Amino acid sequence: MNNELMEHCNDVAEIAMDIALEMELCPFYIAQIGLAAIYHDIGKEYIPKSILNKPGKLTEAEQQMMSAHTYIGHWMIKVGETDLADMISEVVLHHHENFDGSGYYGKRNNEISLAARIIHLADVFSALTTDRPYRPAWDLDEAIRYVGKNSGVLFDPDVVEAFLTLLDRYADLLLEVEDAKEVT
């Protein structure tokens, strides 16, 4: 999924879940709404970029092709090549597995899916940097050091590397924004 589409899907998920929260729906149903929103446009991956990025009005044939993204996405999730339900259920089961095998079920290294390894790090980092009933949120630097220190133990080293690179890139972007503000 390209960055723009992913950003859009995340925005849709956030808005949809906010609406569902405001409507005081069941938390499990809210989560399902969020997940469905994340994947609502997945079928656009099979629509030609020339149609997706066309600046003008679509022809009738192009509009029919664009409309097909809903069926394609449904097929991908329901019966298609993505095995989405299997992946999601595996992540739910294994997102507390540690890279060294010390997690809930003793899975280790590549016995844990990449998705579960990624979500495990994201979940722990989010938990560390958020106030909890039993402790205040950790300082951002402290949480980053914890992740780095536990590379190869709790977390997949490749996932840690990508995460730290991402944080460096965000830090660089924030510095650029701050520098631009000072110039103006």
pLDDT score of 137:
93
Structure-block tokens of residue 137: 């949120």
pLDDT, one tens digit per residue, over 5-49 is 888 888 888 889 988 899 998 998 898 888 888 889 988 989 999
**Residues 116, 122: Cα–Cα separation, whole Å:** 10
| pTM for the full predicted model | 0.69
Q: How far apart are CA 17 and CA 10, in angstroms?
A: 10
Neighbours of 2 (CB within 10 A): 11
Q: What is the pLDDT of residue 184?
A: 65
Helix, strand, coil % (nearest 5) of the chain? 70, 0, 30
Interval 85-108: pLDDT, tens: 777 788 888 999 999 999 999 999
Task: Looking at mean pLDDT, say which of 9-23, 82-96, 121-135, 150-164 comes out highest.
Answer: 150-164
Burial class (CB in 10 A: 0-12, 13-18, 19+), 121: buried
pLDDT at 149 over 90: yes
Domains with residue ranges and CATH for the chain: 3-82 (1.10.3210.10), 88-183 (1.10.3210.10)
Residue 74 has pLDDT above 70, yes or no: yes
What is the C-alpha to C-alpha distance for residues 71 and 177, in angstroms, rounded to an integer? 41
pLDDT at 82: 56
pLDDT, averaged across the chain: 88
Residues 6+ apart with CB under 8 A from 157: 99, 151
